[in-house]
Amino acid sequence: MVIVAIGISARAATRAIDLARARGVRLGLFRPITLWPFPEDALREATKKARAVLVPEMNAGQLSLEVERILGSARVEGMHRFNGEPISPEEIAARAELLAKEKGKIK
């Protein structure tokens, strides 16, 4: 599984990866440096073996829509918050663990 994140969500995702890996979830991070032009080839390369892609973001889903456009919506799961409270690493790790269970990667 791969997390695609930018900004403050990428910082939380970095910690979430440590938490999820400790629970047995194979997880990586793709953090684009620029959004325009979007690094489509790099995203495809980073996610080519991933069964799921989690996109935590502090908005209504603009990044996840771009990721869905590139990868197809079947593998992409958005995690959106737009109330001003940051998404915690624990929340991201819990969602990643749930996705991994759904995709059959952990018991």
Burial 83-100 (b: 16+ CB within 10 A, else e): eeeebebeebbebbbebb
User: Given the structure tokens 């990044």, which residue do they identify?
Assistant: 63
- 16-71 pLDDT, tens digit per residue, is 999 999 999 999 999 999 999 999 999 999 999 999 999 999 999 999 999 999 99
Domains and CATH numbers, the chain: 2-102 (3.40.50.920)
Strand order in the sheet with 76-80: 28-30, 2-4, 53-57, 76-80
- 11-29 pLDDT, tens digit per residue, is 999 999 999 999 999 999 9
Global pTM value: 0.92
